[in-house]
A and B are shown apart, each in its own frame.
Chain A
Amino acid sequence: MKRILPSIIVLAVFLASCAPVDLNASLPTFDTDVDPDAWAQIPAGEFYYGQHEEVLSTEAYEIMVTNVTTAQYAGFLNEALAADYIKVDGDQIVGFYPGDEFRGVKHEEKIEAGDWIFIPLNDPSQRIKLDGTTFTVQPGYENHPMTMVSWFGARGYCEYNDWRLPTEVEWEKAGRGTDTRPFPWGEEIQRENANFYASRDPFEDMKTFGSRTTPIGFYNGNTYDGYVTLDSASPYGLYDMAGNVWQWTGNVYEDMHYRFMRGGSKDTYEMDLRLWVRNNATPTYFSPGVGFRCAR
């Protein structure tokens, strides 16, 4: 018995670790006073791009101050469904995408014209529910960033409003400004700057469900039930340009079907929150740690 006891303990710990996680655990609700409909003006001109500080230039453009919220996305789905811009296809919402040029490069996959997934409906991490013909948001998540949205779903939202996803260059300039800072707020990162892995924010419980999103603009210097945040806006006043959720960008590159994301997320270490860090996935990918914002 003594010999097998350690094995039994190890097995028990493992089985315990596979216990289901309560994805609907209660959530603190905070109003951050940041307007999700606000846009930031980014002037034309040069800036330092990437880790190696290449000097690039952009035209003037506008970009959303925050990520698109769950409430905004639900509003879009309701309008778009009524306008036949999207449709329900089994347990997912799909919409039209005109397709990419395919050159058959190694690992490249065809993205043909047709209906592609915008969001899944029955995934337990989805915070938007379809009740008959109306989309509603799970209470408490209204001012959280929209997640569980594919690149097609992010692009569809922006396009429906006559906007677009920012290019990688636009995204980085909006987050970095015209100096060489690695984070939107400056040179160093502290736990109170952003929502990242094990950053100990009020929405996180690493013993059970792990990290969760924070409301848009949460890191604005306000104090929430005693939790003091640092004002972590970018030089142009954008919030959550590091951490919380990865953000889809709009570029479609030759010879690959991957779409790129920026900003790091609640699930990544600080190194991924540096402004030049790139992540990518197939455009059908969705996750509780991926969202977006639009540009125009």
Chain B
Amino acid sequence: MQSIKNRFNYLFGSTKGLILVAIAMIGIVTAVWGMLSGPMAEMGVRDVVVELLGMDMVQAEREGRIIILYHSIAMAVIAIEVYMITSLLKMKSFFKTTIRVLITVGYIMAMIFGLGFAYFGHNWAFHGLYIAGLTLIFFAGVLMVIALWPWNKEYYQPDKAYARTKSGLDLERVAFFATALTTVISALFGAIPGSYFGNGFQVFLAENIIRYPEKTTMEYSVIGHLHIMLALIAIMITLIIGRWLNFKGILHKIAMPLMILGTIVLNLGVWGVVTPLEPIAHMIIYVGATPSMLAALFLLIWSWGNLIREGTARLSKPNLGQKISALLRDPLKFGPTWQMLFMNFTTSGIGIFMAVKLDEIFRVWPAREERIELTGHWHVLSAIIATIILFYYGDMIGLKGKVRQWYGWGLIVLSDIAFAMVTIFEMKRLFISEAAQQPLVNVLMIAMDVGLGMLLLLLAIVLGWRLVDLFKRKGRWTEEVTQELAKEVAK
């Protein structure tokens, strides 16, 4: 009994245990639900899964099901970020414990009962519990905002190497606070239309109504919500990675004010879509996105410089090859910022190109083609965030030597192959006609699936190893049970 209790305490009471559980939950959901669409459906795997698990999928409810699925995964991702923040940043232990309890119960309820309701018949008690789960997460978010309050002298930054005001206000903490606060507010933009469902508001996927010139306020609200939540998850993981790597110095001092400014302006722009400011909302969003992306660029420059400096410390005059070798020496520390850079080729760059050439190119194509770009675009962004989390996770579970190299480079290479293929798939109409595309589509799909499939396999191996470890009396888990991320921040 005690041994079960110890393991339960690890999985649900320690930072690394909680992160492990959430990653495992996301991994399982991704693996199972990934079989319901695309090539898996073509090959007939979907039918087997549906039959085997007894899923009940009504055609008219597809959009609603997908929305619940997205939320189930997103809530677990947000929980992981919360575990990381509560372990990295100083806060009162009452807040830390309460926030973790609320968000853990919340995301597990949202995931189990949400998917139970959406895919396994309509038990309305499940729907109620799904909503209750989301509500707990929201409440955890409110407490997080309070816990992160940066104007508490206890949390002032004494070290001048970090971004701070003259009085010592920790600007990095302000950035965390601003992101948490705007996340909580932006959640309402989804929650309010959701609460009207059945009272005139009808479920929809944003990509399906993108071309309609008239949208209701509720529709604008949902469209704003889905965009800003993903952006905020991305901003938060950037801040987390910065803390893990111990981002500091002049670039930190420039980046943090930019991050605060960008986050606030970006949110104001998105919230503006449901106000009379809607016609200029996009301009405000661009203005907000620019400083946020610049801040991420400064993190990248600092991080790469740091990796090169550390890797060539023993050399008096390192040449270019030695510098590159030093940069690539540790894939887990190189990976997060590399993915942020790669994101510009697969997400941001494509988004800007689409915005610039929208009427000239993309709106000449049928809506379905535009839908492929839109969904591909944000699926890649979500997956990039997931890989960044996995880089950090690989480091926090102490992967070393060749395992670290294989895991890290596996993540980078496999995911980037998949993302690059998705990007080519999205843009294929620029260089190939519908009639001639099939051989290219086949190759892209194979590369995409091999990339993603191998990535999931890599994750499954890690999770399998962690599962086996749990059965050991003195496994790695016994060491991790008391470890906190703040103590493991790079020096």
Chain A residues in the interface with B (C-beta under 8 A): 13-14, 16-21, 23, 51-53, 105-109, 124-125, 180, 182-183, 187-188, 197-198, 206-211, 246, 255-256, 258, 261, 267-272, 274, 278-282, 285, 287-290
Is B214 interfacial (CB-CB < 8 Å)?
A: yes
> Which chain B residue lies CB-closest to A290?
B366
Query: Can you pick out 11 interface pairs between chain A and chain B where the beta carbons lie within 8 Å of each other?
Result: A13-B443, A16-B443, A21-B438, A125-B434, A125-B435, A182-B59, A197-B42, A210-B438, A256-B213, A278-B367, A280-B367
Contacts of B457 in A (CB 8 A): none
Q: Is the CB of B434 within 8 A of A107?
A: no
Contacts of A210 in B (CB 8 A): 437-438, 441
> Which chain B residue lies CB-closest to A212?
B435
Q: Is the CB of B368 within 8 A of A258?
A: no
Contacts of B442 in A (CB 8 A): 17, 206-207
- How many contacts A-B (CB < 8 Å)? 101
Q: Interface readout for B215-227 with A: 1 if CB under 8 Å, 0 if not?
A: 0000000000000
Q: Is the CB of A288 within 8 A of B434?
A: yes
Q: Is the CB of A52 within 8 A of B202?
A: yes
Complex Cα gap A274–B59 (Å) = 8
Contacts of A18 in B (CB 8 A): 432, 439-440
Is B41 interfacial (CB-CB < 8 Å)?
A: yes
Complex Cα gap A187–B214 (Å) = 31
Complex Cα gap A289–B437 (Å) = 13
Tell which of A20, A108, A206 touches B436, judged by Cβ atoms closer than 8 Å.
Answer: A20
Complex Cα gap A295–B375 (Å) = 35
Nearest CB of chain B from residue A23's CB, rounded to whole Å = 6
Contacts of A268 in B (CB 8 A): 368
Nearest CB of chain B from residue A5's CB, rounded to whole Å = 16
Q: Is the CB of B363 within 8 A of A287?
A: no
Nearest CB of chain B from residue A151's CB, rounded to whole Å = 11
Q: Interface readout for B183-222 with A: 1 if CB under 8 Å, 0 if not?
A: 0000000000000000000100000100111100000000
Tell which of B37, B436, B444 touches A21, judged by Cβ atoms closer than 8 Å.
Answer: B436
Is B286 interfacial (CB-CB < 8 Å)?
A: no
Tell which of B60, B365, B439 touches A281, judged by Cβ atoms closer than 8 Å.
Answer: B365
Additional 10 contacts, C-beta under 8 A, given A183-B59, A268-B368: A17-B440, A17-B444, A18-B432, A53-B60, A210-B441, A246-B366, A256-B212, A271-B62, A279-B367, A290-B366
Contacts of B441 in A (CB 8 A): 210
Q: Is the CB of B438 within 8 A of A208?
A: yes
Complex Cα gap A187–B435 (Å) = 31
Complex Cα gap A278–B437 (Å) = 23
> Which chain A residue lies CB-closest to B440?
A17
Is B468 interfacial (CB-CB < 8 Å)?
A: no
Tell which of B42, B212, B363, B434 touches A282, judged by Cβ atoms closer than 8 Å.
Answer: B363
Contacts of B159 in A (CB 8 A): none
Q: Is the CB of A287 within 8 A of B213?
A: no
Complex Cα gap A188–B47 (Å) = 12
Nearest CB of chain A from residue B428's CB, rounded to whole Å = 11
Q: Is the CB of A124 within 8 A of B435?
A: yes
Contacts of B359 in A (CB 8 A): 107, 109
> Which chain B residue lies CB-closest to A189?
B59
Interface centre among B42, B364, B368, B444 (most CB of A within 10 A): B368
Contacts of B214 in A (CB 8 A): 255
Q: Is the CB of B366 within 8 A of A280?
A: yes
Nearest CB of chain A from residue B208's CB, rounded to whole Å = 8
Contacts of A187 in B (CB 8 A): 59
**Those 9 A-B pairs whose CB atoms lie nearest each other, nearest first:** A210-B438, A182-B59, A17-B443, A281-B366, A198-B42, A255-B213, A125-B435, A17-B440, A21-B436
Contacts of B443 in A (CB 8 A): 13-14, 16-17
Known: A17-B439, A18-B440, A208-B439. A107 touches B213 (CB 8 A): yes
Chain B residues in the interface with A (C-beta under 8 A): 37, 41-42, 59-60, 62-63, 202, 208, 211-214, 358-359, 363-368, 432-444
Contacts of B42 in A (CB 8 A): 197-198
Nearest CB of chain B from residue A208's CB, rounded to whole Å = 7
Tell which of B37, B367, B437 touches A258, judged by Cβ atoms closer than 8 Å.
Answer: B367
Interface centre among B432, B433, B435, B438 (most CB of A within 10 A): B435
Contacts of B436 in A (CB 8 A): 20-21, 23
Complex Cα gap A53–B202 (Å) = 11
Contacts of A206 in B (CB 8 A): 438, 442
Nearest CB of chain A from residue B282's CB, rounded to whole Å = 10
Nearest CB of chain A from residue B147's CB, rounded to whole Å = 42
Tell which of A13, A20, A208, A279 touches B368, judged by Cβ atoms closer than 8 Å.
Answer: A279
Q: Is the CB of B363 within 8 A of A182?
A: no
Nearest CB of chain B from residue A34's CB, rounded to whole Å = 26
Complex Cα gap A203–B443 (Å) = 21
Contacts of B60 in A (CB 8 A): 51, 53, 180, 182, 274
Contacts of B444 in A (CB 8 A): 17
Tell which of A19, A267, A288 touches B439, judged by Cβ atoms closer than 8 Å.
Answer: A19
Q: Is the CB of A23 within 8 A of B211?
A: no
Q: Is the CB of A106 within 8 A of B213?
A: yes
Known: A14-B443, A255-B214. A209 touches B438 (CB 8 A): yes
Complex Cα gap A206–B39 (Å) = 12
> Which chain B residue lies CB-closest to A210?
B438
> Which chain A residue lies CB-closest to B208?
A278
Complex Cα gap A288–B435 (Å) = 7
> Which chain B residue lies CB-closest to A256?
B213
Contacts of A278 in B (CB 8 A): 208, 367
Q: Is the CB of B434 within 8 A of A267?
A: yes
Nearest CB of chain B from residue A121's CB, rounded to whole Å = 15
> Which chain B residue lies CB-closest to A285?
B366
Complex Cα gap A150–B300 (Å) = 49
Q: Is the CB of A289 within 8 A of B434?
A: yes
Q: Is the CB of A287 within 8 A of B438?
A: no
Q: Is the CB of B213 within 8 A of A282?
A: no
> Which chain B residue lies CB-closest to A198?
B42
Complex Cα gap A19–B437 (Å) = 10
Contacts of A182 in B (CB 8 A): 59-60
Complex Cα gap A18–B364 (Å) = 24
Complex Cα gap A270–B434 (Å) = 18
Nearest CB of chain A from residue B451's CB, rounded to whole Å = 12
Q: Is the CB of B435 within 8 A of A282?
A: no
Contacts of A290 in B (CB 8 A): 366
Complex Cα gap A278–B442 (Å) = 26
Contacts of A209 in B (CB 8 A): 435, 438
Contacts of B435 in A (CB 8 A): 21, 23, 124-125, 209, 288
> Which chain A residue lies CB-closest to B66?
A271
Tell which of A19, A281, A287, A289 touches B367, judged by Cβ atoms closer than 8 Å.
Answer: A281
Nearest CB of chain A from residue B61's CB, rounded to whole Å = 9
Complex Cα gap A16–B440 (Å) = 8
Q: Is the CB of A272 within 8 A of B364?
A: no
Q: Is the CB of B211 within 8 A of A280?
A: yes
Nearest CB of chain A from residue B46's CB, rounded to whole Å = 10
